[in-house]
Structure 1
Amino acid sequence: MKKHIVTLIFTVVLLIGGTTESFAASLTYTVQKGDTLYKIASTHKITVNELKKRNDLKSNIIQPTQKLTIVKSNAEVNGKPVEKKVAKTPSRSSDDNVLKEFTVNASAYTASCNGCSGITSTGINLKRNPDAKVIAVDPTVIPLGTKVYVEGYGYAIAGDIGGSIKGNKIDLFFPTKAEAYKWGRKSVKIKILK
């Protein structure tokens, strides 16, 4: 289960970057009480040395609330530059990556409401990853884990469900209530991607 959650979070991070470049976006992890570099590195499938190098750490000492970069933010793998490839914008006529396109009623939600845990049904912690692009879906219409492109929102992943999300309705995650209210409710085109 943990492996699937880490894979899902990594996919979301890549979607946020909007590129096909390997390790295109950075994931920031906030150190929790009891964490060690080894535990964090193991969870994110990297070595302690890589973690220390990415964060310019000279020792193994970390503190709660300290922010660590997990994935490189620049185009470099194993210390060598990687050529950046910008992903094509999905379209019906020219992109083979679009499996289906249809119109949905899109509302917005946030993890900062009273009583909200901030953890999606697939295990994504939205409070720790406020820049994640996650949508709540009816899994009978859009399966959980599906990569999507939402008009006016961007690339996202179907990572949550909601009690009132039925049929062609989605709920878009925003980090603040103000952003969620600004979105409101609207009809938008959604593209289901390979």
Structure 2
Amino acid sequence: MKNVARGSAFLLLVVLAAGFTYFQPKVEAVTVLASDSQENVQKFNTTDILESNIEKVSFDVEVKSEAAAPKSKGRVFKATAYCLRGRTASGRMVRRGIVAADPRVLRLGTRIHMTAGRYTGSYVVADTGGKIKGNILDIWVPSCAEARRWGRRTVRIRVTKKAKRKFKKRRSKKRR
């Protein structure tokens, strides 16, 4: 057993030595090429080359200020989070991108863009709630721990697409 261990150790040393000698000349060749290239570059006067290739170009740029551009002002809502499973008031299954709102403020089916840190993005108003009255949103999140961490925050929303007609609730087919 000792001979096998000694032989393996010796073989490992031979392989490492061969590997180092094999890769050593390539590194030296690259270093020599790099130093030769650097010497060739230094022979030329770089300022002469740059000055001969520069053309003078003038152009006019019209800058519009951001204040002049019309921006859609967002509305401020209080937001909470919920983690219930099942169907929403519109009949859809809950998923990311669903919010609950007062249907008198935001109709079901309205698409909104919400600015709320990590939860910034596009959402669909697809649910209502018994305690949701006025400018309050309820954002669906996958875990109840995440909903508790969210707490109650102030968010800014912008309506991107209004619901055209009153949203009809989807009814599931009864099984017989």
Which structure has the greater CA radius of gyration? 2
* TM-score, reference length from structure 1: 0.43
Higher share of residues assigned helix = 2
* TM-score, reference length from structure 2: 0.48
